[in-house]
Structure 1
């Protein structure tokens, strides 16, 4: 079992990261709440990891904080919630927002997450009740991947691709990014993703 990785951040293509650990590149899937807190490419990073093994694949998931990994493990124990859905939930809702959804029985906020239907949302609220300690904070205005000295890129296209990889329908991803662009027309791709996800989170 791989429980932690410490190495150099070699590449970021949300939700996938590549972490170089002494010459070995580990492909890691991470929620956007973790990606928002990553250093610039080439920087040192430490991730708490969870290895998900199925009949067809082995996937490594990484989290900046141990509490996020614990929350991920709680989520995948809920009937009908697999690693991909848990990743999408933690991309759109941090621990504090998820705790508020559970406390407020906010089914509407949970069904905004791709793949989460009403029954799954209701099951999440029931099974998570009492398991999430009250927390504060939101997605925050954390500086993201730097684009200094990089060639001009299609930030909106990258943001839409990342949202699609998290499970959002292409048409929905396009609309989310369009709304984010109205808020910050000059935003880079990572900021567009943050704004798009934040618009889906409960108030």
Structure 2
């Protein structure tokens, strides 16, 4: 199993990057946000999911471990294959998608290319209890403020072996303005 690839972005096409790792080019299919974020000749580290089928082998890559774990959850849902899961994660940052699932917002999920209303509802039903608690952010003028694009404390807990759901619960109620190491320490104390 290929857990991650780290190298230089040699080519970009469609929704894939070719990452040159020591002279070997790995074609990695990525989300729209990750595709836009990387430029040619830039160093890249992508957490990968190695998908093996009868006819092909594919690598799906993510700039964050959180996104990879959410992808792995999405493909467990009946009717959601790797391409549909990638389309769902292309709706926005992984935390936005996770929060939409936790809040049972199937209309957000159905906005993904190739994902219908019934599949979106199945995603919400199957995963809402597995992705962790919904995160509620203060509203300014009745409009929800932007969610953080990445939570290093959440990723650190996942790297330590926590599930996405357990890591979210562990960080619940811990001041988000604390340094990452302090937030992780507080979360670990709680368990």
Range into which the TM-score falls when normalised by the shorter chain? 0.5 to 0.7
8 Å contact 1:72–1:87 — kept in the other structure? yes
Please tell me whether residue 49 in structure 1 is matched to residue 48 in structure 2: yes
1:109-151 Cα distance to aligned partner (Å, 9 max, x none):
2222122112111110011112223453359xxxxxxxxxxxx
RMSD over equivalenced CA pairs, Å: 1.8
Unaligned 5+ runs, structure 1:
140-203
Kept after mapping to 2: 8 A contact 1:28/1:60: yes
Count matched residues.
Answer: 138
Query: Is the 8 Å Cα contact of residues 10 and 19 (structure 1) preserved in structure 2?
Result: yes
Query: 1:95, CA displacement in angstroms?
Result: 2.2
CA distance in 2, matches of 1:131, 1:36: 29
2:119 corresponding residue in structure 1: 120
Q: Distance in 1 between matches of 2:20 and 2:94?
A: 28
1:25-104 correspondence to structure 2 within 5 Å: 25-38=25-38, 40-104=39-103
Q: How far did residue 107 of structure 1 move?
A: 2.1
Find the counterpart in structure 2 of residue 175 from structure 1.
none
Q: TM-score, normalised by structure 1?
A: 0.63
For 1:135-188, what per-residue CA distance to the aligned partner results, in whole angstroms no more than 9, with x for missing partners? Answer: 53359xxxxxxxxxxxxxxxxxxxxxxxxxxxxxxxxxxxxxxxxxxxxxxxxx
CA distance in 1: counterparts of 2:44 and 2:102, whole angstroms: 33
Q: CA deviation at 1:74?
A: 0.6
Task: Report the equivalent of 1:6.
Answer: 6
- SS of the residue 1:19 aligns to: strand
Tell me, yes or no, if the aligned pair for 1:37 and 1:64 is still in contact at 8 Å: no
Q: Which has the higher contact order (CA 8 A, sep 6+)?
A: 1
